[in-house]
């Protein structure tokens, strides 16, 4: 699920984002670009680390590092609800334009 600012609801070929997010100085450039990319997709878009790496033409480790930063600052959250043989699989990602309880 993606939480973002409200706008007039008309379909348009652009994404409306808060200036606060764009000018956020706590986020490294790569993490900010990743967040902006994720916010540009529709709410129903299915994210995977590999798919994001392919879209950004980056290695998977960079994506994992940037997701960790976004999680630290409250812009990204993974709900882990499935356990398989001592493994936990993230099944729901929450991406927000404003930090939710981050540091």
Domain boundary assignment for the chain: 17-96
Q: Give the class (CATH, top level) of 17-96.
A: mainly alpha
Q: What is the pLDDT of residue 27?
A: 93
Reported in sequence order, the residue ranges of 1-103 that DSSP labels E, i.e. its strands, are 2-3, 76-84, 87-96
Are 40 and 15 in contact, with CB atoms under 8 Å apart?
A: yes
The pTM of the whole model exceeds 0.85: no
Q: What is the pLDDT of residue 32?
A: 94
Tens-digit pLDDT string for the chain (103 aa)? 656 655 555 566 667 778 888 888 999 999 999 999 999 888 878 888 999 999 999 999 999 999 999 999 999 988 766 667 777 665 688 888 888 875 5
């Amino acid at each position: 699920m993606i939480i973002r600012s409200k706008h007039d609801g008309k379909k348009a070929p652009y994404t409306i984002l808060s200036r606060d997010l764009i000018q956020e100085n706590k986020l490294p450039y790569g993490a900010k670009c990743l967040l902006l990319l994720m916010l540009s997709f529709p709410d129903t878009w299915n994210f995977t680390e590999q798919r994001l790496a392919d879209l950004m033409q980056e290695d998977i480790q960079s994506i994992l590092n940037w997701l960790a930063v976004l999680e630290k600052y409250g812009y990204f959250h993974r709900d882990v609800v499935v356990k398989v043989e001592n493994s936990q699989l993230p099944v729901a990602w929450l991406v927000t334009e404003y930090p939710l309880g981050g540091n």
